[in-house]
Structure 1
């Protein structure tokens, strides 16, 4: 039997219990149903598979990573390719390539999918590059029969990766938490130059323990970096900027020369536990810095105190990118003390029409076992909760907007969180419609 099975559900649930909590239209958490959600968001499709991690979009195609946290998960780890139907945004599974990886972050470089390999020990069943750490190149010219065709070995492997528009380059986010003396920096992989054996350049951060073994990034910030490497890298291609969320800080880079990014600004915030991700709004004047509370290791405490700076998204005015100004933060307003994991995770920004035709700045974020949340930050000094969807058993790793729909990836079951095997059908890709958000 195929490991794929399609699962659809739309829940209509009483809204009484949470009106008093300030979320009118939210579903009652006291009822027997396994889903709570606001009335302005609806589930329209669920393509179920275990261990769903990152998502990446390329026209009508979607690449969905599937991470492996232990040996038993390796048969289900790799990259799924799905076809998106334009009419309703639902997905059709096309193929699965079993190239196991711990994280399995994914992105598109033209017809190729790039996949992260954080650990050589989890990279055991796919050539080339078996047993190595770095970035796999998958040829998806025929999305029903993808082929692993290349591998780029990188310093510290690959935790997350970001394709840099149509340059053919990939920025690799990786680091070594266990060795303070390890080199800190970013690898740039030129997939377009040679997909089968991509050239790799490592740029070292000009920090206090720079090794001198590698070319250093130019630092125009006036501040010495403390980051051990990027955890994830967001882009604003229209303004030639990249944003390195680097555990201890977030850097703003000038990427007008994408092979030679320069550090222009460094943001530090004592209330941010882990600089996990950074993205901008469409206008490029508001930067969102995401805090993965205690690196997820302590995320069971992330929702104990609602509206407090734990597991939050911070909003910065970067209309002057040399002088970012913190405006506010948002965290999930509903306490959830029983959740094993509760902190913001991968997220994406988008616009929706507002009053008088003015655009509204929105962000959708995964929140592990606390569901998928949508926040209106049109006023970055006063962000407001707009919608949420929280089904029992799901563990949302990533949530992104794409062409009028919201897509979220769940990695249930996973030994990382102790999720029970009977929740296997809660993994995979979930498709949502949001009132007012259309292609």
Structure 2
């Protein structure tokens, strides 16, 4: 960080913190009638910040140690091109996928399709209103897969919140035909056990396999019973998506007892989530590998047969990891970056009290060959730009920046902003650029900032929970070679081989 000039603001590292303008959208209904956003699917109200903490944060703003309310700051090598505020969908913004000149951005109320052919001036093509949350999104060909992880009255886009204790309630994946970007069509739905918190696709010529991650079973939930130590696999025929169905529920953590064989969590491992399923899975089809971030466990597994995944290795970190959230392979599948969603994405954890290891990324080398491969821990990486006590900050979704011979990544940190970092040396990762906004407010802990930040065809696209879509450009000799790489499609959880002619083009 010492090489980075920061606009006006001197960053706080050892502080005492404790704890383009309005585009008209075409609103599309994906059901027989207009649905209304359901506030029951949004984030819960956050805790108040004490007057003493507020005073400390105001002092830090005055001295330039942290940015002011809504102030934008960034390193010299990161340029903020544009922000597109939310349109008709006012819920929480979530994940993003890409295809050609289009970006597909999830939102608790549905999803938005943007035309990003001009990254400096993205245009809203359509908005699909279909409340349900959290709406992780993946695309393949003419199909869009949307995850619903909130219990609904039915599978329509006019559904309302309904308790998971009711047998008729619905959660799972919705499938849309996106061949007409201005008029996406809702074509199918598949109910999955405990819903679909996230989805990861393994595309093939005739079918799209969808790995559905979900968790949180309870005996009172008819369709979400413990133990829930696996994932749902949904097979989606490209030419007949209406015939999509669950084909298997492989158990990833076999074991005796009502909770299965995953991490038992507290009291055995205090401060660690009990594994009752997976939060997110990343696949690397070119290597027949997948990495699972599964609450209290990290796993490496083979997907040579996408219908029959097999575990290769499993790791835990019962000292510093609270909730294994997501995973990213490096190019060549020699490393995995696992993220920790400390505080569940609802707490101010980027401060001196929490420290540099808890809530950090964990970098693991993959050593050995074949079924004997092992995950070996090398280091932690966490942004050292401390945030205000009112700012929810957590390691979240990111992607590789494709540069041969280097391991570079862009990553969202909620109100910690967007981090550009280098983990070429697994033991000595370092941040090389950033973009962030100051706190939304100082009196209450708020959830805002980038949910997902991905590098796609020369630019970074960041879906800000509260502010809308941001487009960034990185100007740095270390990342500039990536600007020559062009993809036809990117789902960050379905990692391409960037230097394989079948997946990317080095122009």
State the TM-score bracket (shorter-chain normalisation): 0.7 to 0.9
Provide the TM-score with structure 2 as the length reference: 0.69
Tell me whether 1:35 sits opposite 2:72 in the alignment. yes
CA offsets, 1:217-272, max 9 Å, x none?
A: xxxxxxxxx73211000111111001111001111110010111111110111221
> What secondary structure does 1:172 align onto?
strand
Conservation of the 8 A alpha-carbon contact between 1:188 and 1:200: yes
Tell me whether 1:434 sits opposite 2:469 in the alignment. no
- How far has the Cα of 1:273 moved from its partner? 0.9
> What secondary structure does 1:370 align onto?
coil
Residues 122-141 of structure 1 mapped to structure 2, 5 A cutoff: 126=157, 132-141=170-179
Question: Which residue of 344, 357, 370 maps to 1:309?
Answer: 357
Tell me whether 1:176 sits opposite 2:207 in the alignment. no
Question: Which residue of 97, 109, 113 maps to 2:140?
Answer: 109
Residues 38-77 of structure 1 mapped to structure 2, 5 A cutoff: 38-49=75-86, 50=90, 51-67=92-108, 77=109
CA offsets, 1:132-154, max 9 Å, x none?
A: 20000011010100111100010
Distance 1:98 1:185 in 2: 30
* Counterpart residue number, 1:9: none
Tell me whether 1:99 sits opposite 2:130 in the alignment. yes
* Counterpart residue number, 2:434: 388
Distance 1:14 1:206 in 2: 48
Tell me whether 1:293 sits opposite 2:342 in the alignment. yes
Number of residue pairs the alignment of both structures matches: 382
* Counterpart residue number, 1:418: none
> What secondary structure does 2:348 align onto?
helix
Conservation of the 8 A alpha-carbon contact between 2:12 and 2:66: no
Conservation of the 8 A alpha-carbon contact between 1:137 and 1:149: yes
Question: Which residue of 169, 179, 187 maps to 2:232?
Answer: 187
Q: Relative contact order, CA 8 A, sep 6+: which one is greater?
A: 2
Structure 1 residues 281 and 122, CA gap change in structure 2 (3 angstroms): farther
Distance 1:267 1:284 in 2: 17
> What secondary structure does 1:196 align onto?
helix
Distance 2:277 2:12 in 1: 43
CA offsets, 1:113-144, max 9 Å, x none?
A: 11001123386751799952000001101010
* Counterpart residue number, 1:350: 401
- Gap regions ≥5 residues in structure 1: 1-11, 22-26, 68-76, 217-225, 353-357, 413-425
Structure 1 residues 42 and 306, CA gap change in structure 2 (3 angstroms): farther
Residues 146-165 of structure 1 mapped to structure 2, 5 A cutoff: 146-165=184-203
- Gap regions ≥5 residues in structure 2: 15-63, 162-168, 220-224, 262-273, 441-447, 485-507
> What secondary structure does 1:184 align onto?
coil
Tell me whether 1:204 sits opposite 2:251 in the alignment. yes
Tell me whether 1:371 sits opposite 2:402 in the alignment. no
Conservation of the 8 A alpha-carbon contact between 1:407 and 1:432: yes
Conservation of the 8 A alpha-carbon contact between 1:89 and 1:405: no
Structure 1 residues 335 and 13, CA gap change in structure 2 (3 angstroms): closer
Mean CA deviation greater in 129-138 or 156-165: 129-138
Conservation of the 8 A alpha-carbon contact between 2:402 and 2:408: yes
Conservation of the 8 A alpha-carbon contact between 1:40 and 1:387: yes
Structure 1 residues 360 and 123, CA gap change in structure 2 (3 angstroms): farther
Structure 1 residues 210 and 57, CA gap change in structure 2 (3 angstroms): farther
- How far has the Cα of 1:162 moved from its partner? 0.7
Question: Which residue of 10, 17, 21 maps to 1:17?
Answer: 10
Structure 1 residues 409 and 311, CA gap change in structure 2 (3 angstroms): same
Conservation of the 8 A alpha-carbon contact between 1:80 and 1:93: yes
Provide the TM-score with structure 1 as the length reference: 0.80
Distance 1:210 1:165 in 2: 35
Conservation of the 8 A alpha-carbon contact between 2:176 and 2:184: yes
- How far has the Cα of 1:88 moved from its partner? 4.1
* Counterpart residue number, 1:234: 282
Tell me whether 1:277 sits opposite 2:326 in the alignment. yes
